Chains A and B, each alone.
Chain A
Amino acid sequence: MTRFIDLTLNGISTGAVYAAVALALVMIWRATRIVNFAQGGMLMITTFIASSVIGSSGSYWLGFAVALVCGLVLGAVVERVLMRRVEGGPPLNAVIVALGLLILLEAGAGMIWGNTPRSFPPAFSIRGYDVGGTTLLFSPNDTFTVLVVVAVAVGLALLFRYTAVGLRMRASALAPEVARLLGVRVGRMFTLGWALAAFVGSLAGLLVAPSVFVGPNQFDPILIFGFTAAVLGGLDSPPGAVVGGILLGLALSYVSGYEGASLVTLAALVVLIAVLMIRPGGLFSTRKERRV
């Protein structure tokens, strides 16, 4: 029973990270109808930057802040310089450009920082809480992870729902031509959407880095898990991304605990295929189901 509780708690904290990546993917999908396969590479770069800043300054929180800011900038730059040219075209082009960017970022990181994975400090203690004599598989750092992801998700929801900027962004995503006629600078809204998404992605990278270590390829599985969670919740649904992330985290935690850690990626693949076969729009699909 304790094992089950442990796996459940672990699933929630890893699920929070998947939820963050899923949220980043969903935001970009909603805004520009592109699946950002480069997300894993982008958050890898910002985590490397954090690692370098922490290494040279000795301050975790400085590295944390710098990474988040770099995420904003990187997202904006990628959209403006690269993705702007493939938005609205055939989906295959955007997929290939995103993959090209992923490869480029991973190669670039290898050139700058080398290919050997390096350790990354957690924000808080990773020693599990003591409850009635037993140590849970849930630590203060895990609490921080879950809380910060929830806070960001709620913050974004409030932003979209109650602010003028949020209204502009939603209008740009839903009906760009009409939005233009109403004076909304749609291009800027797309850039902002990508910047915010990359911000969330950077956060996910910082939260997961202590367990996966930092290296050019270390974040590839996170991309898969985030994508699966996003599809599970529904690519159009930010709350779906969060729910999908938690659910996937739980499922993979049980698989890892009872079957072994190496099968986790395959398990995610099974979930992905199952969702795409049974309910392609995801759990929270609002749009009419088209062929995916």
Chain B
Amino acid sequence: MGAPAVLEVERLTTDYGPVRAVDGVSLTVRGGSITAVLGANGAGKTSLLRTISGLERASAGQVRLDGEDLLGVAVEDIVRRGLSHVPEGRGVIAELSTEENLRLGGLWRGADGAALEEAYALFPPLRERRSQLAASLSGGERQMLSIGRALMAGPRVLLLDEPSLGLAPIVTAQIMQLIRTLAAERGLAVLLVEQNARSALSIADRGIVLNLGRVVADDAADALAADEDLRQAYLGF
């Protein structure tokens, strides 16, 4: 595995025409740790992830993975650099089967049956439904599928966009624990975008809060969770 991965984002700015969705955001995430990105709807969290993975074009700033520039790399090549992005809504391809979705994740590096077995070991419910169309999976199962598929690529950095969306609290807690374990065991650098700030902060090491595209708080997760004013103002609890 080598040295832990480092994802560095420096004064990143993204514009959609006249609207500035991401305004000078800076952060650093190290392998084995989780950084939560929090804030209200429209705060720029999704835009931040989409800019890092290349789906949106940055107007200014830098993104580096292990010192190498990521901006300007084609979206198709981002995963080859070691960064996996699980998009908003999970991006599970409903018309393909569970197994096809998983295989798709590992195609670029020619992942074989062993990688597939690993995924099923990690997510037993998926094994049961391996030949079924992904459309028939429950919300929690789809989340497992999207994470499993991202892991098939063997990433060093994982971007997760609202994994708890639409999930029951129990399932959310399970998924969060899973992410915590994966980050620790595999040394993944995880950037976790969440509306559910409470559950995100419960597993994160650090947290940043966005408002209107700007960072308004950047601190250890515990400190953020303890700051009542901040919670009320931006995080809703």
Known: A178-B93, A183-B108, A183-B153. A167 touches B103 (CB 8 A): yes
- The smallest beta-carbon distance between B162 and chain A, in angstroms, is 15
The stretch among A143-151, A169-177, A201-209 that forms the contact with chain B is A169-177
* CB < 8 Å A-B pair total: 60
**Docked complex: B51-78 residues within 8 A CB-CB of A:** 53, 55, 75-78
A174 near B79 (CB under 8 angstroms)?
no
- From B84, B96, B108, contact of A184 by CB (8 A): B108
What residues on A are CB-neighbors of B76 within 8 Å?
180, 183-186
- The smallest beta-carbon distance between A159 and chain B, in angstroms, is 14
Which residue on chain A has the smallest CB distance to residue B105?
A: A182
- From B84, B93, B107, B153, contact of A175 by CB (8 A): B93
Which residue on chain B has the smallest CB distance to residue A188?
A: B76
In the complex, A177→B161 CA distance in Å? 15
Tell me if B's interface is mostly helix, strand, loop or mixed: helix
Interface: B4 (CB within 8 A): no
What residues on B are CB-neighbors of A179 within 8 Å?
104
In the complex, A6→B19 CA distance in Å? 68
A167 near B53 (CB under 8 angstroms)?
no
A181 near B96 (CB under 8 angstroms)?
no
Known: A182-B105, A182-B149. A170 touches B96 (CB 8 A): yes
- From B77, B78, B79, B104, contact of A167 by CB (8 A): B104
Known: A182-B104, A183-B153. A175 touches B91 (CB 8 A): yes
Interface: A164 (CB within 8 A): yes
Interface centre among A164, A174, A180 (most CB of B within 10 A): A180
What residues on B are CB-neighbors of A182 within 8 Å?
79, 104-105, 107-108, 149, 153
Which residue on chain A has the smallest CB distance to residue B94?
A: A174
- The smallest beta-carbon distance between B63 and chain A, in angstroms, is 15
Interface 1/0 per residue, B98-142 and A, CB below 8 Å:
001001110111000000000000000000000000000000000
Interface centre among A170, A177, A181, A183 (most CB of B within 10 A): A181
A183 near B87 (CB under 8 angstroms)?
no
Known: A171-B93, A174-B93. A181 touches B107 (CB 8 A): no
A181 near B75 (CB under 8 angstroms)?
yes
What residues on B are CB-neighbors of A186 within 8 Å?
76
- The smallest beta-carbon distance between A79 and chain B, in angstroms, is 17
B79 near A183 (CB under 8 angstroms)?
yes
In the complex, A182→B106 CA distance in Å? 8
What residues on B are CB-neighbors of A178 within 8 Å?
87, 91, 93
Which residue on chain A has the smallest CB distance to residue B77?
A: A183
**Docked complex: A230-279 residues within 8 A CB-CB of B:** none
- The smallest beta-carbon distance between B66 and chain A, in angstroms, is 18
Interface: B85 (CB within 8 A): yes
What residues on A are CB-neighbors of B75 within 8 Å?
180-181
In the complex, A95→B78 CA distance in Å? 34
A184 near B107 (CB under 8 angstroms)?
yes
- From A174, A177, A181, A184, contact of B95 by CB (8 A): A174
- By Cβ-Cβ distance, the 7 closest A-B pairs, closest first, are A183-B108, A178-B91, A183-B79, A180-B75, A175-B93, A185-B76, A181-B85
Q: List 21 A-B contacts (CB under 8 A).
A: A164-B107, A167-B96, A167-B107, A168-B107, A174-B95, A175-B91, A175-B93, A178-B93, A180-B76, A181-B75, A181-B84, A182-B105, A183-B76, A183-B79, A183-B80, A183-B108, A183-B109, A184-B76, A184-B104, A184-B107, A184-B108
Known: A175-B91, A177-B91. 4 other contacts (CB 8 A): A177-B87, A181-B79, A183-B107, A183-B109
